[in-house]
Amino acid sequence: MASLSYREKTLYASLVIELVVYLPYFFLHGQNSVGKVAGMIAAIILLQILAQGVIAAVTGNRITDERDRLIELRGYRVGYFTFASLMALGLAALWFHASVLHNMNMEHHNLGLHFLSVFFGMLVIADITRTVAQLIAYRRAL
């Protein structure tokens, strides 16, 4: 950990927290509820504050520079592209089910929650992709 910059340490912590909190979300997809999603968001915020506080306390040199900012921008670009792609795929799948297969039951009582879950899942995947893209950029040429 000593050879990592402050930003890299915070990114690794973010990735671990995201995976620990979000992975159950995907495995328990059928049992999702609004309360569970809200709890997950609250857990992420609390764990991030805790982890960032610990890293800031144990890291003496906390400076960030131009390379950190460039890598951050690259991460956001990858994350945005991932989210936009997933949204396009999701909308295409929705159209396919509704128009071609005609098996979209809009009266289903869980439909709203299902859409919310899928949308939240896209955000989660985009966020994890953003973090991983930044970590890769730190290890490879920029």
Partner 1 sequence: MPAIRNQVRELRAARNITQQELADQVGVTRQTVIAIEQDKYSPSLETAFKVALVLGVSLEQCFQYDPKGKR
Contact segment (CB under 8 A) with partner 1 among 27-35, 49-57, 64-72, 97-105 equals: 64-72
> Residue 61, interface with partner 1 (CB under 8 A)?
yes
Tokens at residue 43, please? Answer: 């857990």
Spell out the residues 6+ positions from residue 111 whose beta carbon is closer than 8 angstroms to its own. 105
> Residue 63, interface with partner 1 (CB under 8 A)?
yes
Q: Strand ranges (DSSP E) for the chain?
A: none
CA 58-59-61 angle, to 5 degrees, is: 155
The residue from 29, 67, 77, 114 that contacts partner 1 (CB under 8 A) is 67
Minimum CB–partner distance for residue 67 and partner 1 (Å): 5
Q: What are the distances in angstroms from CA 14 to CA 45, 91, 134?
A: 10, 29, 11
> Residue 140, interface with partner 1 (CB under 8 A)?
yes
Q: Is 102 left (phi over 0), alpha (psi -120 to 50) or beta?
A: left
Task: Identify residue 100 by its one-letter amino acid code.
Answer: V
Q: What are the distances in angstroms from CA 40 to CA 6, 22, 48, 84?
A: 26, 7, 12, 23
- Which parts of 3-42 interact with partner 1 (CB under 8 A)? 3-8
Contact segment (CB under 8 A) with partner 1 among 16-24, 61-69, 78-86, 93-101 equals: 61-69
Nearer to partner 1, 9 or 130 (CB): 9
Tokens at residue 137, please? Answer: 């950029």
Map residues 71-110 to x or -, x wherever contact with partner 1 holds by CB under 8 A: ----------------------------------------
Residues that bind partner 1 (CB under 8 A): 3-8, 61, 63-68, 138, 140-142
